[in-house]
Structure 1
Amino acid sequence: MTEPRTHARAHARARDRIRAAFAEAGVTGWLHAVDIDSGAQVDAGADHTVVTASVHKVCVLVALHQQAEKGRLELTEQAECPPDGRTPGPTGLSAMLDPARVSLRDAAYLMMAVSDNTAADLLLRRVGLEAVNATTRRLGLTRTHAVQTFGEFVATLKEDTGHAGPQALADPRVLARLRALDPASTNRSTPRDMTRLLAAVWRDEACAPQHSAAIRRLLSLQVWPHRLASGFPFDDVHVAGKTGSAPTLRNEVGVVEYPDRGRYAVAVFTRAASPAAILPAADAVIGTAAHLAVDALRS
């Protein structure tokens, strides 16, 4: 019994250090990390219901590949994307001005690599919200549910901030009424559900092996290094993940792979007191917390 007790103490110490790191960074945070092969885990609020924001694009991606596996669509299928009606966003098709034509698999790349909202909604129109929810139910993610497109998510932010726009976020009363920050009103999950989804992808359980490999490839192409990946600045450690953001919210889920074949699914969701768009400490603590959790799992 000595070894399990030693691991339990190490994980408890890691949980305390993770909570201290969140507090020092000025955020409230929730984390789950799991060794994909052994099942050992670190839990720091793993079952807290959270707003997923763009993290839910992972669910869309898995649903897309499940539909392709069943022959309901072709990933090479082309979709037209006119300038009018695009979902607002700072990247990808959302920021482009001219008509575009893109395959479903290339739209998936834009959705994952640069969190392109227009590409995500293009895929949702083809796949459907119900298919996304059927996918998460099938994988046993009982606390994960999609209720709106990414365009609808952005629209609620605009409606709830009113004519003052982003400046209104300085008012605590405005923050308190944002539906985008209420898990009951928007797309939601838990840290534990998200690590379960990632583990299923890495074990080839979410889809056939070729589709799981394609999902892993896209997750590895995300361009943002300032959250989860910042905790693993090593040339021989590979991080694949997906961020999610909203006013006061900074999230990321991903898988960390070591050269000794150790692989760890991690989900970190945070909420800051400040609505400021630039909070380096709040971004960095996602990597710090993930590193503390993975170190405990490797101890």
Structure 2
Amino acid sequence: MTDARGRIQAAFADAAVTGWLHARDIDSGAQVDAGGDQEVCTGSVHKLCLLVALHHAAAEGRLDLAEQTECPPAGRTPGPTGLAAMLDPVRMSLRDMAYLMAAVSDNAAADALLERVGLDAVNHATARLGLTRTRAVHTFGEILTSIREDAGPGGAQALADPHVVSRLRALDPAGTNRSTPREMTGLLGAVWRDEACTPEHGAAIRRLLALQVWPHRLASGFPFDDVRVAGKTGTLPTLRNEVGVVEYPDGGRYAVAVFTRTPNTAATLPAADAAVGTAARIAVDALRSL
């Protein structure tokens, strides 16, 4: 595994990012660790925790996933996808909101679900699985508000300034939604082994993660028709993350969590995105060679 760690770090260096990775064989427990215990900002990766909390509550009968919720335009958490980008009133079920949250990382859908589930329930769902370093502190709207406040009067354009980015509270894991790569692969393993929820709800979570539309990070490392990748991205200024499970046709299944940070403040950095998939592929290949 030492060789794999070196190649993973080289892949991060080639893309000019600092990265942290943990990967595990879901069935054998074998692991690749390249900074897996680093505390990291999760960003939208934390929507996975919310998804688990939602389905745990449904499994216990505390809510009905078919429950309809009204989503007027006023007060929606902003974002470029899903409900956040819609202009008219919407009425939909909790399960369909969860689809938008997982598939296109819809911030408005996520915060509507959080209003129904609660931050405490999200933290309870991860704590009951022994994930002691995984913590939800803010709603997704609160994270975006803190970024706007810290950017100051320059607005979004100010985020091109490294000095402005360096003061963003949203990038300090001590004060925002956080976890570690190792705990995220632990959570994914629990979902895939039906330990996080009942089998029915575990299958529903896996289905939603497989519907994620973004191919440019984790999935880019596995360009094969017979390899299935299910995951959840997370993006904040200078941060590009993804956690997910890679399933091979021979039954092998591998949980991978990759978190990266770059000094480059550009919103579009294809090399940094691709490094997530490259590092994940190195780790999975190492696990498959055991």
With normalisation by structure 1, the TM-score equals 0.96
Match for residue 250 of structure 2? 260
- Runs of 4+ displaced beyond 3 Å: none
1:92 equivalent in alignment to 2:92 = no
| Structure 1 CA distance for aligned equivalents of residues 218 and 64 of structure 2 | 32
Match for residue 35 of structure 1? 25
Match for residue 14 of structure 2? 24
Match for residue 231 of structure 2? 241
Please list the CA deviations of residues 112-163 of structure 1 after superposition, one character each: whole Å capped at 9, or x if unmatched.
0000000000000000000000001001111100000000010001000011
| Structure 1 CA distance for aligned equivalents of residues 68 and 160 of structure 2 | 43
Match for residue 184 of structure 2? 194
Match for residue 126 of structure 1? 116
Please state how far the C-alpha of 1:105 moved relative to its aligned partner: 0.2
| Structure 1 CA distance for aligned equivalents of residues 116 and 156 of structure 2 | 31
| Structure 1 CA distance for aligned equivalents of residues 156 and 23 of structure 2 | 34
Match for residue 54 of structure 1? 44
| Structure 1 CA distance for aligned equivalents of residues 154 and 116 of structure 2 | 34
Match for residue 102 of structure 1? 92
Match for residue 8 of structure 1? none
Alignment partner of 1:161 out of 151, 161, 167: 151
1:224 equivalent in alignment to 2:214 = yes
Please state how far the C-alpha of 1:171 moved relative to its aligned partner: 2.4
Please state how far the C-alpha of 1:167 moved relative to its aligned partner: 1.7
| Structure 2 CA distance for aligned equivalents of residues 291 and 279 of structure 1 | 19
CA contact (8 A) 2:194 2:202 kept: yes
How many residue pairs align between the two structures?
289
Q: Please, which runs of 5 or more residues in structure 1 have no aligned partner?
A: 1-10
RMSD: 0.5
Match for residue 286 of structure 2? 296
| Structure 2 CA distance for aligned equivalents of residues 45 and 265 of structure 1 | 15
Please state how far the C-alpha of 1:172 moved relative to its aligned partner: 2.5
Report the 3-state secondary structure (helix = DSSP H, G, I; strand = E; otherwise coil) of the residue aligned with 1:294.
helix
CA contact (8 A) 2:232 2:242 kept: yes
Match for residue 55 of structure 2? 65
Match for residue 141 of structure 2? 151
Please state how far the C-alpha of 1:178 moved relative to its aligned partner: 0.1
Q: What amino acid maps onto 1:64 in structure 2?
A: L
Q: What amino acid maps onto 2:26 in structure 1?
A: I
| Structure 2 CA distance for aligned equivalents of residues 285 and 44 of structure 1 | 14
| Structure 1 CA distance for aligned equivalents of residues 140 and 228 of structure 2 | 29
1:277 equivalent in alignment to 2:273 = no
Please state how far the C-alpha of 1:175 moved relative to its aligned partner: 1.3
| Structure 2 CA distance for aligned equivalents of residues 118 and 265 of structure 1 | 27
| Structure 1 CA distance for aligned equivalents of residues 197 and 115 of structure 2 | 21
Q: What amino acid maps onto 1:111 in structure 2?
A: M
Q: What amino acid maps onto 1:139 in structure 2?
A: L
Please state how far the C-alpha of 1:170 moved relative to its aligned partner: 2.8
Please state how far the C-alpha of 1:168 moved relative to its aligned partner: 1.1
1:5-16 matches, within 5 Å, as: 11-16=1-6
Report the 3-state secondary structure (helix = DSSP H, G, I; strand = E; otherwise coil) of the residue aligned with 1:180.
helix
| Structure 1 CA distance for aligned equivalents of residues 258 and 52 of structure 2 | 20
Report the 3-state secondary structure (helix = DSSP H, G, I; strand = E; otherwise coil) of the residue aligned with 2:18.
strand
| Structure 2 CA distance for aligned equivalents of residues 178 and 298 of structure 1 | 39
| Structure 2 CA distance for aligned equivalents of residues 40 and 282 of structure 1 | 27
Match for residue 67 of structure 2? 77
Please state how far the C-alpha of 1:89 moved relative to its aligned partner: 0.2
Alignment partner of 2:197 out of 207, 216, 219: 207
| Structure 2 CA distance for aligned equivalents of residues 50 and 123 of structure 1 | 23
Match for residue 5 of structure 1? none
